[in-house]
Amino acid sequence: MAVETYTVTGMTCAHCAASVREEISEIAGVTEVDVNVDTGAVTVTSDAALQRDAVAAAVDEAGYALA
């Protein structure tokens, strides 16, 4: 199991968090996504380490960016 925390910019509300959570959850192996809108912290738990590019692409698809 791998746990990694990323910083996402541009989120301002629960809808933002839900969009980011949904897109990251679609990455193969992801088991849990915790989003803190106030700090921009997104903690991702997965079966194995994820490629940062895959997470960045998912966040971009949601309309936000990794810091």
- The one-letter code for the residue type at 25 is S
CATH fold group of domain 2-66: Alpha-Beta Plaits (3.30.70)
Model confidence over 43-53: pLDDT tens digits? 999 999 999 99
Quickly state the pLDDT bin for 35 (edges 50, 70, 90).
Answer: very high
State the pLDDT at residue 47: 97
State the pLDDT at residue 1: 94
- Domain-wise residue ranges, the chain: 2-66
Q: Checking DSSP bridges between strand 30-36 and strand 41-46, what pairing results, if any? A: antiparallel
Quickly state the pLDDT bin for 4 (edges 50, 70, 90).
Answer: very high
CB 52 within 8 A of CB 18: no
d(CA 15, CA 2) in angstroms, rounded, equals 26
State the pLDDT at residue 7: 98
